[in-house]
Amino acid sequence: MTSSRREMLQLAGAGLASAAILPFTKSAEAQLPEVANSPPVTIVQRGINRELDVINIDLLESQARGVLSDGVYVFIATGSGEQWTLRENRRAFGDYALNPHPMGGIVRDRIDTSITILGERLPHPIFVSPMGSYGLVHPEAEAATARGMAKSGGMLCVSSASTIAMEEIARASATSKWFQMYLDNDAGLSREILQRARDAGFKAIILTVDAIGQSSSDQYADMGRNRPWLPYGNFPPGRATSFKTDLSWRDFDMVRNITGLPVVIKGVTRAEDAAAAVRAGAAAIQVSNHGGRSSDGSPAGITVLPRIVDAVHGAVPIIFDSGIRRGMDIAQVLALGANAVAVGRPVWWSLTLGGEGGISGLMDYFQRELIESMLHLGVNNIASLGREHVLLLNRRLAAESN
């Protein structure tokens, strides 16, 4: 066990440590001590591990809300400011519809959802987006997520703000993993963390560029930002983080030179920024508005996706996040030109309710619905999805695209 993991368990108290090793049967709750001047808050300490049969994400969220404290739930569920972007991420999927194509002779059991991205063959295009503080909802945090993803073979993207150290997460499963980096103002510390990620076996680095001034929702602020602040497992204990905001392409070059790994630029919503990333040597682009958590008032991810696809011209893979809730969402995004998708909040809800079994159940749900959509669209592999498989319903967007 790493020192940061031990410190996290000590901070959370003996109840959390014991919950992590008890049989996965019952749920329990305990009180965290005050951390960083935050009021004490109850977090769920469920040692549970059970397969979930996910019906839809709304029901999953409702069930998770029933076992999370108000502070933790609101922190996870809400976006930035008045949450216009958070709502728009979902509403904008209604600007498109799938365009079914029957009589194509497609056999459901032979539909191939596999993809190849940055040289790795994956059984499906559904990633876990990088998120921090998983310990808020499950005592085994990112390690349980890694084991759950291993069952589906999907890509796990690990945040530098993870509850437990990257090395422990890397050892938790043999599945493919990428490491996401928030650069610190201390350049030496950033280099050290990046070198650790390389040495731990992560296959790529995700450089997040859209959280340079991330704010909370009005609702969360009104509650007094009422959730415990767990230590970050990848940063020195007791040290306050100071994330760098004055990012430039020099920072991108530093990340690539330090690690020698492919670098994914996450947080792109403008076509010209996507083109600049390609010119700079980015290995992939992640179209993202941080799930509505960074800058309220930003457009929905699916609204900007087609322009970015056109600007990139297939030079690098495109990953999409922000608003994915169903398999038909995934089919729409892939048909519009993305190569893979990443999901965020649904991972929190499934981890809360089922641990690693919840994560594998979530992946089963998304893949099952994706296959159903592909069947009706008349395609038997991901590469066959194209813009002819979606209808643009929004007249203004249709006019702009012509």
Taking the C-alpha atoms of residue 318 and residue 296, their distance in angstroms, rounded to an integer, is: 23
Residue the block writes with tokens 């790493």: 2
Cα 215 off chain centre by: 18
Rounded to whole angstroms, how far apart are CA atoms 368 and 381? 14
The sign of the dihedral angle between the CA atoms of 3, 9, 14, 18 is negative
Q: What is the pLDDT of residues 129-141, one digit of tens each?
A: 999 999 999 999 9
* Contact (Cβ atoms closer than 8 angstroms) between residue 329 and residue 367: no
CA dihedral (394, 209, 233, 167) positive or negative: positive
**Residue position matching structure tokens 């969220």:** 61
Q: Which residue has the tokens 């073979």?
A: 153
Question: 124, 290, 376, 389: which one is catalytic?
Answer: 290
The torsion of the CA quartet 153, 230, 19, 174, rounded to 10 degrees, works out to 20
pLDDT tens digit string along 318-371? 999 999 999 999 999 999 999 999 999 999 999 999 999 999 999 999 999 999
What is the phi/psi pair of residue 94, to 5°?
-70, -5
Report the sign of the C-alpha dihedral through residues 152, 157, 160, 161, in that order. negative
Percent over 90 (pLDDT), the chain: 72
In 3D space, the residue among 170, 157, 165 whose CA is nearest the CA of residue 131 turns out to be: 157
Is residue 8 over pLDDT 80?
no
pLDDT digits (tens, 9 = 90+) for 212-259: 766 788 888 888 887 778 889 999 887 777 889 999 999 999 999 999
pLDDT digits (tens, 9 = 90+) for 276-320: 999 999 999 999 999 989 889 999 999 999 999 999 999 999 999
Please tell me the predicted confidence (pLDDT) of residue 41.
Answer: 33
The rounded distance, in Å, linking the Cα atoms of 120 and 129 is: 17
Instruction: Give 28's pLDDT tier (boundaries 50, 70, 90).
Output: very low
CA angle 159, 215, 141 (to 5 degrees): 30
138 labelled catalytic: no
Give φ, ψ of 280 to 5 degrees: -75, -15
Q: Give the fold, CATH level 3, of 3-401.
A: TIM Barrel (3.20.20)
* pLDDT, position 47: 63
CA distance 391 to 207: 33
Given a cut of 80, whether residue 14 has pLDDT beyond it is no
Cα separation of 69 and 245, whole Å? Answer: 31
5 near 164, Cβ under 8 Å? yes
